[in-house]
């Protein structure tokens, strides 16, 4: 049996350090029974597109986790894809390079027993960058070459509800690529799609493919979607043969921050604009060989 833990939307920053205490508690809980691998599925930082120090701190903090960690970029790390703009922070080649210098490739593959687990960069969709084409080709090749079960990880949900839904670009990958990605996964017999971004937990199925939304370790939305649970924590996957299970794990002592309250109910438009609350840890000190 193999175990994987998915954490998401850690939103770490040395200056806007609201959520570091929660992250430390999550790291301690994970280290109590280390899995084979941890996936941190994006929005690692508060303001990665503009503040390299936020990315540096997020990387430093993730080294508190003893198991190997695979990272995925979110809109708060490399910027926003066309159609998904919210903060006027478009994804750029420079922002991708700054991220990759720290966290490694934006797409990756892992084998756990019979399972192939793939991670892709949802922020590339609809950009027209050559990286976007490369990612499609890579995904196609990986899915074609594997004969066993497959799970896909990315930051943004593929669907909010399912094929044919009204476009929800703030919530999902670009509506222009939803069908293409779903068809590719369907053809290859993929079993699940796991994402973050929405800071709430939900599982639903589309044409036999399960979609798992991972909660944040940092903060909750004030108004979760119908049927979703905003409780902070992480997801634990267990793989045995060609079967898997996924369960929510809560962590004792997490502060249930609510985004709208931190932004003082509209006084500040975005988290990055809220007055700083620096972390007190001496984080630039080398730690465990980091
Ligand atoms: Fe987020
Ligand atoms: Fe996000």
- Answer for the pair 185, 178: CB distance below 8 angstroms, yes or no: no
Q: What is the mean pLDDT of residues 58-64?
A: 97
In this structure, which residues have their CB less than 5 angstroms from ion ligand 2? Answer: 43, 74-75, 197
Quick check: is 284 in a domain?
A: no
DSSP assignment letter at 152 = E
CA of 218 to the centre of ligand 1 (A): 8
CATH number at residue 99: 3.60.21.10
128-143 pLDDT tens trace: 999 999 999 999 999 9
Inside any domain, residue 279: no
Residue 112 · residue 4 · CB < 8 Å: yes
Rounded-to-integer distance, Cα 180 and Cα 12, Å: 33
DSSP state of 124: G
Give 77 Cα–ligand 1 centroid separation in angstroms: 10
In the prediction, which pLDDT does 92 show?
A: 97
Distance CA 185, CA 212 (A): 15
pLDDT of residue 278: 95
In a domain? residue 34: yes
For 228-282, how does the pLDDT look when each residue is reduced to its tens digit (9 = 90+)?
999 999 999 999 999 999 999 999 999 999 988 999 988 999 888 999 999 999 9
Mean pLDDT for the chain? 95
CA of 191 to the centre of ligand 1 (A): 24
Instruction: Give 143's DSSP letter.
Output: H
Please count the structural domains in the chain: 1
Name which of 22, 74, 229, 32 is nearest 5 in CA terms.
32
- DSSP letter at 277 equals B
Question: How far is the centre of ligand 2, averaged over its atoms, from the C-alpha of 240 (Å)?
Answer: 31
Neighbouring CB atoms inside 10 A of 194's CB total 26
Instruction: Give the C-alpha distances (Å, rounded to integers) separating 251 from 85, 100, 170, 194, 221.
Output: 32, 30, 28, 20, 18
177 is a domain residue = yes
> Which residue from 7, 24, 9, 32 is spatially nearest to 281, judged by alpha carbons?
24
Per-residue model confidence (pLDDT) at position 88:
85
What is the per-residue pLDDT across 186-217, written as a single tens digit (0 to 9) for each?
999 899 999 999 999 999 999 999 999 999 99
What is the chain's length?
290
Alpha carbon 142 to its chain centroid, in Å, reads: 21
Question: Is 230 part of a structural domain of the chain?
Answer: yes
CA of 216 to the centre of ligand 1 (A): 7
Q: For residue 106, which of 75, 56, 70 has the smallest C-alpha distance?
A: 70
Q: Can you give the residue range of the structural domain that contains 152?
A: 2-273
pLDDT (mean) for 33-40: 98
Instruction: Work out the pLDDT band at 286, boundaries 50, 70, 90.
Output: low
**CA dist., res. 226 & res. 213, Å (int):** 13
Residue 107 in any domain: the answer is yes
Residue 164 confidence (pLDDT) above 90: no
Q: How far is the CA of 44 from the centre of ligand 2 (A)?
A: 9
Ligand nearest to the CA of 12: 1
């Amino acid at each position: 049996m193999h175990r994987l833990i998915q954490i998401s939307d850690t939103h770490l920053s040395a200056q806007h350090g609201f959520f570091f205490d929660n992250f430390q508690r999550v790291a301690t809980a994970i280290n109590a029974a280390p899995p084979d691998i941890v996936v941190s599925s994006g929005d690692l930082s508060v303001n990665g597109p503009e503040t390299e120090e936020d990315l540096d701190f997020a990387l430093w903090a993730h080294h508190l986790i003893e198991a190997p960690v695979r990272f995925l970029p979110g809109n708060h790390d490399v910027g926003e894809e066309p159609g998904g703009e919210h903060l006027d922070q478009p994804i750029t080649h420079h922002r991708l390079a700054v991220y990759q210098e720290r966290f490694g490739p934006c797409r990756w593959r892992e084998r756990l027993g019979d399972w192939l687990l793939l991670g892709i960069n949802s922020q590339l969709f609809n950009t027209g960058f050559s990286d976007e084409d490369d990612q499609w080709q890579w995904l196609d090749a990986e899915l074609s070459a594997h004969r066993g079960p497959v799970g896909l990880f990315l930051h943004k949900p593929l669907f909010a509800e399912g094929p044919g839904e009204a476009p929800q670009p703030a919530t999902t990958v670009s509506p222009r690529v939803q069908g293409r990605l779903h068809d590719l996964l369907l053809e290859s017999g993929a079993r699940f799609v796991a994402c973050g971004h929405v800071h709430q937990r939900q599982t639903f199925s589309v044409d036999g493919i399960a979609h798992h939304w991972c909660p944040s370790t940092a903060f909750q939305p004030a108004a979760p979607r119908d049927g979703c649970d905003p409780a902070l924590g992480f997801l634990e996957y267990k793989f045995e043969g060609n079967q898997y299970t996924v369960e929510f794990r809560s962590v004792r002592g997490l502060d249930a921050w609510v985004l709208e309250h931190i932004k003082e109910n509209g006084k500040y438009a975005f988290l990055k604009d809220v007055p700083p609350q620096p972390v007190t840890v001496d984080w630039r000190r080398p730690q465990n060989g980091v």
